[in-house]
């Protein structure tokens, strides 16, 4: 068994998947042995097929068709099969030998059959197994060069009708449909392998269109249709490499597909075909893309394609033209242009676009914060601290927040004029902090705290109000100088928490109790704290986790 152990399974799967796999051991069925592999079914949300690869010098590996397993992970279903094999270790050698004997026996029997008997056997199996019949029919059509027959069969494979109820394929039936649709990918690839790449290219395009037409009517929560779409895209690329299609025709199809509503299904990147397109094809690709963009300058897909082509050709002016055709009202697009120009070394133009973004924004309060930061940074770098300060001052006047204040402070310190700027900023904040406007007062409290002016913050909180978090911060900062005031805050907040349950509330309460104890110590009233804790324990004794936490902190 290749030395499979619980420790190896735990290492392969990780602690979480290993633990989650334990309950699934009883769901393992249909264990089948082969040469170096063991397959089985594991019942989970669905019935999943799992395969463990054992033996040899390599470490054990496995595959599973559950969503997590299809991403390449060693999932809980593989853990369940591994644990099943470990439990049956004494019988494994015999079962693997029996599997090898059966394989050799079957091969010998088939080899010994006459042509007539072998044909009769195949016909019998084809009559019983619908999927086998389809696969053989496709291989036969491919061998005959029957493109019409293959096209008809691919249409059947991608038809979701037989799996749909009321026109929609539910999650429970999506897997069966995907398993059938996946055969279309294999068929197209087999055509390329058999020397019929031109037919494979045509059928791949048709199949992509058919899949795109049904994707909205299938519950593809597990992403199976996305995998099939990617498979069809790969099959198309392989066929194009072998067939050598007309570059202009290929360019037109690629642009059309990139702008299609279902482009994400296959995620075909036209630039992946650059070698096949050559100079003539790439010129056509750009021509078709420009025409599409000019017809719809605000379309996301058109802009994205144009930007990709422009960047690949290092055409910075085209990148700017695409952005400039659809400028965002908050200056974000101006920022993108400025960054592109900076990267290209065109710093003067970059600065001009950034400044234009500020000018063309109707309300400085709504301008993209990243644009403000970008322009202020550029001003600082080129030795224009006064302009950086003006920008930060105007932004703060339009949007009085703690972050805007912090940025104004940094700019004013750099310009060596912070005391004056601070007084102007605080005057604006005090004008906002009217008794009826609690928000303005709270912003002022945060800013005074950030400045380290705790006394002013206390006065502002008392005059205009503050939220509990601010009161707590004030109390924490003021215990050494205002222990009585801090104590009052802690007691009020603690009283509120005594009516709550849960470990989070208990941790917050204990933190407050530590503050209360420190305040009493500073006030010289430790007996009052002892009496308070005694009463609290008596009232909260049913909360065992709280009592345990208080014990840990000596409360």
Sheet with strand 61-64: strands edge to edge: 28-33, 37-43, 47-53, 61-64
3-state secondary structure of 168: strand
Q: For residue 464, name the pLDDT band (cuts at 50, 70, 90).
A: confident
Residue 282 to residue 248: CA distance in whole angstroms: 8
Q: For residue 487, name the pLDDT band (cuts at 50, 70, 90).
A: very high
In this structure, what DSSP letter does residue 118 have?
Answer: H
- Cross-strand partners of 64: 50
What the block records as the tokens of 163 is: 């799996």
- Taking a C-beta distance cutoff of 8 angstroms, is the pair 475, 486 a contact? yes
pLDDT for the residue 127 = 85
| Burial letters 283-316, b for 16+ CB under 10 A, else e | ebbbebbbebbeeeeeeebbbebbbbbbeeeeeb
Residue 309 to residue 27: CA distance in whole angstroms: 52
For strand 28-33 and strand 47-53, is the pairing parallel, antiparallel, or unpaired?
A: unpaired
- Taking a C-beta distance cutoff of 8 angstroms, is the pair 149, 141 a contact? yes
pLDDT for the residue 248 = 94
What the block records as the tokens of 375 is: 């322009």
- Taking a C-beta distance cutoff of 8 angstroms, is the pair 96, 85 a contact? no
Q: Report the pLDDT averaged over residues 339-351.
A: 93
Q: Bigger pLDDT: 37 or 520?
A: 520
> Can you list the pairs that 206-213 forms with residues at least 24 positions away whose Cβ atoms lie under 8 Å?
206/151, 206/154, 207/154, 207/158, 207/232, 208/232, 208/233, 208/236, 208/257, 208/265, 208/266, 210/154, 210/155, 210/158, 211/158, 211/181, 211/262, 211/265, 212/260, 212/261, 212/262, 212/265
For the cut 80, the answer to whether the pLDDT of residue 432 exceeds it is: no
Instruction: Determine whether 3 is exposed, middle or buried from the number of CB atoms within 10 Å of its CB (0-12, 13-18, 19+).
Output: exposed
pLDDT for the residue 436 = 53
Residue 291 to residue 39: CA distance in whole angstroms: 54
For the cut 80, the answer to whether the pLDDT of residue 438 exceeds it is: no
- DSSP state letters, 50-83: EEEE--SSSPPEEEE-SHHHHTT---HHHHHHHH
Residue 440 to residue 299: CA distance in whole angstroms: 41
Q: Give the position of tokens 């037409």.
A: 213
Residue 546 to residue 500: CA distance in whole angstroms: 11
What the block records as the tokens of 454 is: 């705790």
- Cross-strand partners of 28: 42
Chain mean pLDDT for the chain: 88
Q: For residue 492, name the pLDDT band (cuts at 50, 70, 90).
A: very high
Dihedral through CA 21, CA 22, CA 26, CA 30, nearest 10? Answer: 40
pLDDT for the residue 521 = 94
- Taking a C-beta distance cutoff of 8 angstroms, is the pair 50, 115 a contact? no
- Work out the end-to-end distance of the chain between its first and last CA atoms, rounded to an integer number of angstroms: 58
In this structure, what DSSP letter does residue 345 have?
Answer: T
For the cut 90, the answer to whether the pLDDT of residue 136 exceeds it is: no
Residue 380 to residue 370: CA distance in whole angstroms: 15
3-state secondary structure of 369: helix
3-state secondary structure of 530: helix
Q: Bigger pLDDT: 522 or 37?
A: 522
For the cut 90, the answer to whether the pLDDT of residue 90 exceeds it is: no
pLDDT for the residue 3 = 67
- Taking a C-beta distance cutoff of 8 angstroms, is the pair 432, 400 a contact? yes
How far CA 23 is from CA of 11, 82, 365, in Å, comes to: 18, 13, 56
Q: Give the position of tokens 């801090």.
A: 486
Q: Report the pLDDT averaged over residues 239-264.
A: 91
Quick: pLDDT tens for 147-180.
888 898 889 899 998 888 888 999 888 888 988 8
For residue 364, how many other CB atoms are within 10 A of its CB?
16
Quick: pLDDT tens for 188-222.
998 898 888 999 999 999 999 999 999 889 998 87
pLDDT for the residue 57 = 58
Longest Cα separation, the chain: 107
3-state secondary structure of 28: strand
Dihedral through CA 509, CA 515, CA 520, CA 521, nearest 10? Answer: 130
385, 344, 338: which is closest to 357 by C-alpha? 338
For the cut 70, the answer to whether the pLDDT of residue 123 exceeds it is: yes
Least confident of 45-49, 129-133, 273-277, 463-467: 129-133
Is the pTM here over 0.85, yes or no?
no
- Taking a C-beta distance cutoff of 8 angstroms, is the pair 495, 486 a contact? no
- Taking a C-beta distance cutoff of 8 angstroms, is the pair 138, 150 a contact? yes
Q: Report the pLDDT averaged over residues 4-30.
A: 89
- Taking a C-beta distance cutoff of 8 angstroms, is the pair 316, 353 a contact? no
pLDDT for the residue 435 = 58
For the cut 90, the answer to whether the pLDDT of residue 474 exceeds it is: yes
């Amino acid at each position: 068994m290749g030395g499979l152990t619980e420790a190896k399974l735990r290492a392969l799967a990780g602690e979480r998947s290993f633990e989650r796999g334990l309950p699934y051991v009883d769901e393992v069925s249909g264990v089948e042995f082969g040469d170096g592999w063991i397959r089985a079914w594991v019942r989970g949300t669905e019935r999943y097929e799992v395969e463990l690869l054992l033996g040899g010098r390599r470490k054990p590996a496995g595959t599973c068709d559950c969503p997590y397993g299809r991403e390449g992970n060693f999932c809980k279903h593989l853990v369940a099969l591994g644990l099943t094999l470990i439990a049956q270790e004494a019988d494994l050698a015999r079962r693997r030998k029996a599997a090898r004997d059966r394989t050799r026996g079957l091969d010998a029997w088939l080899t010994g059959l006459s042509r007539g008997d072998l044909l009769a056997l195949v016909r019998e199996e084809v009559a019983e197994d619908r999927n086998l019949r389809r696969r053989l029919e496709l291989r036969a059509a491919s061998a005959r060069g029957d493109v019409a027959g293959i096209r008809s069969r691919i249409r059947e494979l991608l038809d979701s009708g037989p799996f749909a109820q009321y026109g929609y394929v539910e999650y429970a039936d999506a897997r069966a449909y995907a398993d059938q649709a996946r055969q279309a990918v294999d068929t197209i690839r087999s055509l390329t392998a058999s020397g019929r790449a031109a037919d494979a290219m045509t059928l791949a395009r048709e199949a992509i269109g058919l899949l795109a037409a049904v994707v909205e009517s299938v519950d593809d929560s597990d992403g199976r249709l996305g995998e099939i779409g990617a498979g069809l895209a790969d099959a198309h690329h392989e066929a194009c490499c072998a067939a050598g299609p007309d570059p202009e025709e290929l360019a037109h199809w690629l642009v059309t597909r990139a702008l299609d509503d279902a482009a994400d299904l296959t995620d075909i990147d036209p630039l992946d075909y650059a070698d096949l397109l050559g100079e003539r094809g790439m010129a056509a690709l750009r021509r078709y893309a420009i025409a599409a963009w000019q017809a719809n300058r605000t379309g996301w897909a058109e802009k994205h394609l144009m930007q990709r082509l422009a960047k690949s050709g290092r055409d910075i002016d085209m990148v700017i033209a695409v952005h400039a055709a659809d400028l965002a009202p908050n200056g974000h697009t101006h920022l993108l242009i400025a960054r592109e120009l900076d990267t290209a070394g065109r710093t003067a133009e970059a600065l001009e676009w950034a400044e234009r973004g500020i000018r063309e924004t109707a309300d400085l309060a709504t301008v993209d914060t990243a644009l403000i930061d970008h322009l202020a940074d550029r001003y600082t770098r080129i030795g224009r601290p006064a302009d950086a300060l003006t920008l930060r001052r105007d932004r703060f006047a339009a949007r009085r927040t703690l972050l805007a204040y912090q940025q104004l402070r940094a700019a004013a310190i750099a310009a060596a004029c912070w005391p004056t700027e601070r007084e102007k900023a605080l005057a604006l904040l005090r004008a906002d902090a009217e008794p009826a406007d609690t928000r303005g007062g709270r912003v002022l409290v945060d800013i005074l705290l950030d400045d380290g002016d705790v006394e002013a913050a206390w006065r502002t909180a008392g005059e205009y109000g503050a939220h509990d978090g601010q009161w707590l911060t004030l109390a924490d900062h003021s215990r050494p100088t205002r222990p009585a005031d801090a104590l009052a805050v802690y007691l009020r907040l603690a009283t509120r928490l005594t009516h709550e349950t849960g470990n989070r509330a208990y941790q917050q309460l204990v933190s407050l109790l530590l503050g209360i104890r420190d305040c009493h110590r500073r006030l010289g009233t430790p007996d009052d704290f002892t009496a308070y804790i005694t009463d609290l324990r008596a009232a909260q004794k049913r909360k065992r986790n709280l009592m345990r936490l208080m014990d840990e902190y000596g409360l």
